[in-house]
Chains A and B, each alone.
Chain A
Amino acid sequence: MLKNISHYVTYTLFKLEHGTRLADALDFFVYDTLKIFLLLSVIIFAVSVIRSYFPPEKTKRILSHKKEFIGNILAAMLGVVTPFCSCSAVPLFIGFIEAGVPLGVTFSFLISSPMVNEVAVVLLFGLFGWKVAAIYAGTGLLVAIFGGLIIGKLKLEKWVEEYVYKFHNGQEYEITRQTFKERLQYAKESTIDIVKRIWLYIIIAIGIGGFIHGYVPEDFLLRYAGPGNPFAVPMAVLIGVPLYANAAGVIPIVYALMEKGLSMGTVLAFMMAVTALSLPEMIILRKVLKIQLLAVFAGIMTVTIIAVGYFFNAIL
């Protein structure tokens, strides 16, 4: 079906000649664009319906007073499905701590939420196949679980700003009851909202795949961060840490790096570093965390993501 449309656009609408390089590229571009947007819309819609059952207020209740480990696993998974705008990180953090969610468990949530999400997974699936998507999602969850566990074990509560632990709202936020129809409406609005935000990045990513494919010359990046260099992973991660983009925004860069010949593990580690750690998020979190805790958090994440990168390179 989609193939028919892309053939139609290429050979009937644009009247390109069969077998030419440009025709192939356009055919591929239209087909991939349709495929990925279709996939994205369906998955974002489905995840949004699930998401409507897990508002932050409910997630907080589920995680409250959970034991470590089980709590970390749950928090990492809830991070994927709880709707959450990075600007909510601070109220969410205070709310979690007030409700008795352990510090390490709270971190598992904060780590997985921006890093593992439906947009990242669908894009990886659409562009690189299901194996890469599954490995990214799986290790992303592991990074969130273990990052949170380590922070919990280090007992760093002293480096949380004092007022957070003094804060007692005592308020149970009411959770709005929704009919299933309202949930579908929410999912529809949410899908449109997300697709509107990310469509351009995706077109660029697919464009890189379709048109630049094969044309990109080897250059210094490959020489310094290519598969032959044992330090490629730490270099990519250290470059990625201060950069900030959401999962969709980083995808064009990921595609371009792949085209330049960087290995999959290096590129995935780069993507994790960009989405999981960012300067703006650190500045927001500084309102509730002392600088020491932020440093430890950044350090643990950097080391874990580098380890994951080597692991990817070893198995992919």
Chain B
Amino acid sequence: MEIKVLGPGCPNCSMLEELVKKAVKELGTDAKIEKVTDMLEIMKYTMSTPGLVVNGKVKHRGKPLPNLEKVKSLLKEEG
């Protein structure tokens, strides 16, 4: 699974990254997590940060952040 966390480095974006790491660990899936901070790269997916992209699909954008359970289920959808 390829996961991208989109965000220029604000507290919300780091929080989302932590959540994703935790979710991946708890699910025990094999995933590559990439933090995308380049603005133009982010713009390919969304205008509202923080964003979560799994296998090229935008699964979450903006505030409020999803909770851990929500992140897990978003990841499971892309299994």
Q: Which residues of A contact B (CB under 8 A)?
A: 55-57, 60, 83-88, 90-92, 94-95, 163, 167, 169, 171, 173-174, 186, 189-190, 192-193, 284, 287
Q: Is the CB of B48 within 8 A of A83?
A: yes
Shortest CB-to-CB span from B49 to chain A, Å, is: 5
Q: With the chains together, A169 CA to B44 CA distance in Å?
A: 7
Contact B43 A55 (CB under 8 A): no
- Chain B residues with Cβ below 8 Å from A163 are 40
- B residues in contact with A94, CB < 8 Å: 39-40, 43
Say what secondary structure dominates the interface of chain B.
Answer: loop
Known: A167-B40, A190-B63. A85 touches B12 (CB 8 A): yes
Chain B interface, number of residues (Cβ within 8 angstroms): 21
Which residue of B is nearest A163, CB measured?
A: B40
Contact B8 A90 (CB under 8 A): yes
Task: Check B53 for interface membership: any CB of A closer than 8 A.
Answer: no
Given contacts A87-B7, A167-B40, contact A92 B64 (CB under 8 A): no
- Whether the pair B47, A57 counts as a contact (CB closer than 8 A) is yes
Instruction: Determine whether the beta carbon of A84 is less than 8 Å from that of B43.
Output: no
Inter-subunit contact B42/A91 (CB<8 Å): yes
- Chain A CB within 10 Å, residue with most, of B7, B42, B63: B63
Determine if B8 and A167 form an interchain contact, defined as CB atoms under 8 angstroms apart: no
A12–B7 Cα gap in the complex (Å)?
51
Q: What 8 new A-B contacts, CB under 8 Å, besides A90-B39, A91-B46, A94-B40?
A: A57-B48, A83-B62, A84-B48, A87-B8, A92-B48, A163-B40, A171-B44, A284-B8
Cα distance A283–B9 when bound, in Å?
Answer: 13
Pull 5 A–B residue pairs with CB atoms less than 8 Å apart, ordered by A. A85-B12, A86-B10, A87-B10, A95-B43, A171-B43
Q: B47: which of A56, A86, A284, A287 is its contact (CB, 8 Å)?
A: A56
B5–chain A nearest beta-carbon distance, Å? 13
A88 and B39 form a contact (CB under 8 A): no
Verify if B71 is at the interface (C-beta below 8 Å from A).
no
Chain B 37-79 per-residue mask, 1 if CB under 8 angstroms from chain A, else 0? 0011011101111100000001000111100000000000000
Query: Can you name the residue of chain A whose Cβ is closest to the Cβ of B40?
Result: A167
A85 surroundings in chain B (CB, below 8 A): 10, 12, 48-50, 62-63
Shortest CB-to-CB span from B4 to chain A, Å, is: 14
Query: CB-CB < 8 A to A171: which residues of B?
Result: 43-44
Alpha-carbon distance A105/B28, docked complex (angstroms): 47
